[in-house]
Chains A and B, each alone.
Chain A
Amino acid sequence: MNLDLNTTWFLLVGILLTGYALLDGFDLGVGALHLLAQKDDERRIMLNAIGPVWDGNEVWLITGGGALFAAFPHVYATVFSGFYLALMLLLLMLIFRAVAIEFRGKQPMPWWRKTWDISFSVTSLASGLLLGAALGNIAAGIPLDADHEFAGTFLGLLNPYALLVGVTTVALFTMHGAIYLVLKTEGALHSKIRGWVNNAIIFFIICYATTTMATLLYVPHMTATIKAHPILFGVALLNMLAIANIPREIQHGRDFRAFLSSCAAMAALMALFGIGMYPDIVAASNGPANSLTIYNAASSAKTLGIMLAIAIIGVPLVLAYTASIYWVFRGKVKLDRFSY
């Protein structure tokens, strides 16, 4: 591996998508848990825990999509047109999710709130499942023709491995969201969510182990690079240690460190995914000649250079105000007259 512009952009798109997973991951997880809270006040606290930040979190997906379009237009074109129905479903979920969050608190009628509660939860679960299944398909490889166009079917995307990765993603987001809620709540709701966290961790670890086994057995190319460069096994080890550390920190009541561990576990998972793919971005399941790589799918060196300048100016700004916003809204959620 040499750190040329194409590799740099492979890393940058990866970092944007990791940022998306870390941030939107917890608010999708909060959505997945939403219906477990029974009382209206509890649901409001959960919603307001993500209230000021979910919109900004979703911008990471939009910017990740934009960066993919700019840096690797052939990946953007092939994947987005190839996964047509799945992406339309994802768009539908994201629209209804935004609307549910925004509209739920605008009327007091129980039927109104219940409708939006259900749509918030269902759309959060389905978004995680669809995003995970898309990732699973990319990891396993999809059929591409000689023009790099998708040559498979919608039903072919619903294969067991992709669905397994989808379910694992939901489990991961749910755990991540539960830990975030522990940080943001107090009192009776806080104790209740502590119980959810333990179940969510167990659920995730079962999914994680199953996905790891399935990957080793059925998608061996994802582990080839680590096999060839044993030093990279360190990332897998880091991933395992970060996951193992989550229940330990929760046990000792060090909730913020548990959240950081969960972030580290997600980042390491994304790194493992990136290591497995590199230098492919979309591997063709029907022959490597048709694969989209960081070279044949990329924009010109000139554009990658311009984009790098934009990223060098823009990303520090983005990190600065993202951090400020989280700082302003730190601490436990208190409902006030500006809340949802």
Chain B
Amino acid sequence: MDVLTLARLQFALTVSFHYIFPPISIGLGLILVVMEGTYLATKKPLYHEMTRFWVKIFGLVFAIGVATGIVMEFEFGTNWAAYSRFVGDVFGSALAAEGIFAFFLESGFLAILLFGWERVSPKMHFFSTVMVSLGSIFSAIWIIVANSWQQTPAGYHLVETPSGTRAEVVSFRDVVLNPSTLDRLSHVLVGAFLTGAFVVVSVSAFYLIKQRHTDFARASMRIGLLIALVAAPLQLVLGDLSAQGVARTQPAKLAAFEGHYPASAAAALHLFGWVNERDERVEFSVAIPGMLSWLISGDPQRPVTGLKTFSPEDRPPVNLVFQAYHAMVGIGIALIVLSLLGAFCWFRGTLFRTRWLLWIYVFAVGLPQLANQLGWISAEVGRQPWIVYGLLRTRDGVSKVVGAGETLASLALFFLVYLLLSALFIYLLDHKIKQGPIEEEAGIAGKAVSQ
């Protein structure tokens, strides 16, 4: 394999693995704020116990998120040096801002969250929880700004320098609020809230099935389900808005989402299908004619730019994007159904003993994770062959001095290390869940209240 393919594989592996953890941190961070806030308002020891248990899970997730995150920051320079030279003026600022505004906030207050229970007042501890949650959201903001600029560059001009052409900032405001930032940020954040909510719902469902820590599980489940109930339908709306944005700004990507080839014709929405890229059509599909046109413009007759508008070397890999996008949407709809089913049972008072639904919830923890990954595949593979859309091709972004041998060595290394990390993470998570929350002794809870 050539160095370009290897570098892309390595980036795909390291970023996919990394992205298992930040959405849990962001989602669980919000849930911790809700739990600890409820505790401060009601002084019920149960909510203290809940916060303490989920903080432990949060700590574990955060540590692996940081360790795998450093890899990402280094990788732009190690494997994508030509890209770094081209975008450094624009992209680097967003990364540096993430460090200054988000990482320090998160890691600093996390110390109090994990180790400060008996060193600070309950209010100060709650304040730290809020800061950690905010930090994780700030981090999402800056990294999405950076990534969105790659998708829809704005606020820059191209400058010839002695070291080659590069993009330089003209308007920082336009860089930050480029055409896709807000669409993508809201979609990513709500995806993260769903991820966190389903982690809590899944563990709670497991305890309810096993009839352990039932008070804890019921209270946790209610919070998780409430968030899912808001986030899941909202995500459908935000996803639709995001797709409308893609239609305006990245027509080749949108056409790949639906395998839409005709240069200018009304576009159908495929429920499923298989894109035959050689014959340029979608096979084995069930489609609603005009539906895509209607979704992005409100008019089923409106022509949609198709892949034939683009010469073959300017098209993304269509079938991969098509499948990833459709699977993501399918999972999104499944999550809405699951949330509504839960709400229905909750309303009827049977939620905590509907065993078949609880069993589904135990395994549903993987669904938002899968949707996150598939969404990123749609977004990033759909951007190809560009590393900065319309400006720089991926093949021109790779480091010039790093060979295929070195890249293969590091790729193999990351593969093995991440395999080991996954095993350890699952082992410890399983251990923590089986161990369960530690029941609060009245004394400690009382002490915490009186402080």
Binary contact track A118-151/B, C-beta < 8 Å → 1, others 0 = 0000000000000000000000000000011111
**In the bound complex, do residue A59 and residue B88 qualify as a contact, i.e. CB atoms below 8 Å apart?**
no
**CA gap between A92 and B107 in the complex, in Å:** 21
**In the bound complex, do residue A81 and residue B402 qualify as a contact, i.e. CB atoms below 8 Å apart?**
yes
**In the bound complex, do residue B100 and residue A315 qualify as a contact, i.e. CB atoms below 8 Å apart?**
yes
Asked if A99 is an interface residue, CB under 8 A from chain B, the answer is: yes
Q: Which of A58, A82, A338 has the most CB of B within 10 A?
A: A338
Minimum CB–CB distance from A115 to chain B (whole Å) comes to 11
Minimum CB–CB distance from A70 to chain B (whole Å) comes to 3
Binary contact track A84-100/B, C-beta < 8 Å → 1, others 0 = 11011001101110110
**In the bound complex, do residue B104 and residue A328 qualify as a contact, i.e. CB atoms below 8 Å apart?**
no
**In the bound complex, do residue B431 and residue A69 qualify as a contact, i.e. CB atoms below 8 Å apart?**
no
**In the bound complex, do residue A56 and residue B111 qualify as a contact, i.e. CB atoms below 8 Å apart?**
yes
Give the chain B neighbours of A18 by CB distance below 8 A. none
Whether A150 touches B115, Cβ cut-off 8 Å, given contacts A58-B70, A300-B168, is: no
* In the complex, residue of chain A having the shortest beta-carbon distance to the beta carbon of B60: A102
**In the bound complex, do residue A81 and residue B424 qualify as a contact, i.e. CB atoms below 8 Å apart?**
no
**In the bound complex, do residue B77 and residue A80 qualify as a contact, i.e. CB atoms below 8 Å apart?**
yes
**In the bound complex, do residue B90 and residue A303 qualify as a contact, i.e. CB atoms below 8 Å apart?**
yes
Asked if A14 is an interface residue, CB under 8 A from chain B, the answer is: no
Minimum CB–CB distance from A83 to chain B (whole Å) comes to 8
Asked if A314 is an interface residue, CB under 8 A from chain B, the answer is: yes
Give the chain A neighbours of B288 by CB distance below 8 A. none
Contact of B73 among A62, A150, A299 (CB under 8 A): A62
**In the bound complex, do residue B89 and residue A65 qualify as a contact, i.e. CB atoms below 8 Å apart?**
no
Q: Which of B71, B100, B115 has the most CB of A within 10 A?
A: B100
Asked if A77 is an interface residue, CB under 8 A from chain B, the answer is: yes
Comparing B61-69, B257-265, B341-349, B366-374, the segment that makes contact with chain A is B61-69
Minimum CB–CB distance from B414 to chain A (whole Å) comes to 8
**In the bound complex, do residue B114 and residue A52 qualify as a contact, i.e. CB atoms below 8 Å apart?**
yes
Contact of A95 among B119, B169, B421 (CB under 8 A): B421
Give the chain A neighbours of B271 by CB distance below 8 A. none
Asked if B331 is an interface residue, CB under 8 A from chain A, the answer is: no
**CA gap between A69 and B76 in the complex, in Å:** 9
Comparing B79-87, B204-212, B294-302, the segment that makes contact with chain A is B79-87
* Number of chain B residues close to chain A: CB under 8 A: 72
Asked if B249 is an interface residue, CB under 8 A from chain A, the answer is: no
Binary contact track A49-72/B, C-beta < 8 Å → 1, others 0 = 001110110110111011101110
**CA gap between A315 and B120 in the complex, in Å:** 24
Minimum CB–CB distance from A63 to chain B (whole Å) comes to 3
Asked if A325 is an interface residue, CB under 8 A from chain B, the answer is: yes
Q: How large is the interface on A (under 10, 10 to 19, 20 to 34, 35 or more residues)?
A: 35 or more
Minimum CB–CB distance from A241 to chain B (whole Å) comes to 32
* In the complex, residue of chain A having the shortest beta-carbon distance to the beta carbon of B67: A98
Minimum CB–CB distance from B256 to chain A (whole Å) comes to 30
**In the bound complex, do residue A70 and residue B93 qualify as a contact, i.e. CB atoms below 8 Å apart?**
yes
Asked if B232 is an interface residue, CB under 8 A from chain A, the answer is: no
Whether A310 touches B93, Cβ cut-off 8 Å, given contacts A63-B100, A88-B78, is: yes
Binary contact track B161-173/A, C-beta < 8 Å → 1, others 0 = 0111010111010
Binary contact track B107-118/A, C-beta < 8 Å → 1, others 0 = 111111011111
Give the chain B neighbours of A299 by CB distance below 8 A. 88-89, 92-93, 168
Contact of A322 among B77, B91, B93, B108 (CB under 8 A): B108
Q: Which of B87, B108, B110 has the most CB of A within 10 A?
A: B108
**In the bound complex, do residue B421 and residue A311 qualify as a contact, i.e. CB atoms below 8 Å apart?**
no
Minimum CB–CB distance from B122 to chain A (whole Å) comes to 14
Give the chain B neighbours of A98 by CB distance below 8 A. 63-64, 66-67
Whether A65 touches B406, Cβ cut-off 8 Å, given contacts A55-B107, A106-B431, is: no
Asked if A251 is an interface residue, CB under 8 A from chain B, the answer is: no
Contact of A302 among B63, B169, B410 (CB under 8 A): B169
Binary contact track A276-315/B, C-beta < 8 Å → 1, others 0 = 0000000000000000000010011011001100110011
Give the chain B neighbours of A247 by CB distance below 8 A. none
**In the bound complex, do residue B96 and residue A66 qualify as a contact, i.e. CB atoms below 8 Å apart?**
yes
Asked if A256 is an interface residue, CB under 8 A from chain B, the answer is: no
Give the chain B neighbours of A99 by CB distance below 8 A. 63-64, 67, 421, 424
Give the chain B neighbours of A306 by CB distance below 8 A. 93, 169, 172
Minimum CB–CB distance from B261 to chain A (whole Å) comes to 38
**In the bound complex, do residue A84 and residue B406 qualify as a contact, i.e. CB atoms below 8 Å apart?**
yes
* In the complex, residue of chain B having the shortest beta-carbon distance to the beta carbon of A340: B115
Asked if A74 is an interface residue, CB under 8 A from chain B, the answer is: yes
Minimum CB–CB distance from B163 to chain A (whole Å) comes to 6
Asked if B74 is an interface residue, CB under 8 A from chain A, the answer is: yes
**CA gap between A300 and B89 in the complex, in Å:** 7
Give the chain A neighbours of B89 by CB distance below 8 A. 70, 73, 299-300, 303
**In the bound complex, do residue A77 and residue B81 qualify as a contact, i.e. CB atoms below 8 Å apart?**
yes
Minimum CB–CB distance from A288 to chain B (whole Å) comes to 15
Contact of B116 among A84, A102, A328 (CB under 8 A): A328
Give the chain A neighbours of B81 by CB distance below 8 A. 77-78, 80-81, 149
Asked if B419 is an interface residue, CB under 8 A from chain A, the answer is: no
* In the complex, residue of chain B having the shortest beta-carbon distance to the beta carbon of A151: B401
Binary contact track A257-276/B, C-beta < 8 Å → 1, others 0 = 00000000000000000000
Give the chain B neighbours of A65 by CB distance below 8 A. 73-74, 77, 99
Asked if A4 is an interface residue, CB under 8 A from chain B, the answer is: no
**CA gap between A91 and B170 in the complex, in Å:** 34
Whether A70 touches B95, Cβ cut-off 8 Å, given contacts A55-B107, A92-B413, A315-B100, is: yes
Give the chain A neighbours of B110 by CB distance below 8 A. 55
Asked if A321 is an interface residue, CB under 8 A from chain B, the answer is: yes
Give the chain A neighbours of B116 by CB distance below 8 A. 52, 328-329
Asked if A226 is an interface residue, CB under 8 A from chain B, the answer is: no
**In the bound complex, do residue A76 and residue B88 qualify as a contact, i.e. CB atoms below 8 Å apart?**
yes
* In the complex, residue of chain A having the shortest beta-carbon distance to the beta carbon of B91: A69
Minimum CB–CB distance from A248 to chain B (whole Å) comes to 32
Asked if B417 is an interface residue, CB under 8 A from chain A, the answer is: yes
**CA gap between A63 and B101 in the complex, in Å:** 10
Give the chain B neighbours of A338 by CB distance below 8 A. 114-115, 117-118
**CA gap between A247 and B159 in the complex, in Å:** 55
Give the chain A neighbours of B84 by CB distance below 8 A. 69, 73, 76-77, 80
Minimum CB–CB distance from A257 to chain B (whole Å) comes to 25
Asked if B44 is an interface residue, CB under 8 A from chain A, the answer is: no
18 new A-B pairs (CB below 8 Å) besides A52-B116, A74-B88?
A56-B108, A63-B104, A69-B76, A76-B84, A77-B85, A79-B77, A81-B402, A84-B401, A85-B410, A87-B74, A95-B421, A102-B59, A149-B81, A151-B401, A303-B90, A303-B169, A325-B112, A328-B111
15 examples of A-B residue contacts, CB within 8 angstroms = A52-B116, A55-B66, A66-B97, A70-B89, A71-B96, A74-B85, A87-B78, A103-B424, A107-B431, A299-B89, A299-B168, A311-B100, A321-B104, A325-B108, A325-B112
Residues of B that sit less than 8 Å from A by CB: 59-60, 63-64, 66-71, 73-74, 76-79, 81-82, 84-85, 87-93, 95-101, 103-105, 107-112, 114-120, 159, 162-164, 166, 168-170, 172, 399-402, 406, 409-410, 413, 417, 421, 424, 428, 431
8 closest residue pairs by CB, A with B: A73-B88, A80-B77, A70-B92, A63-B99, A314-B100, A52-B111, A69-B92, A66-B96
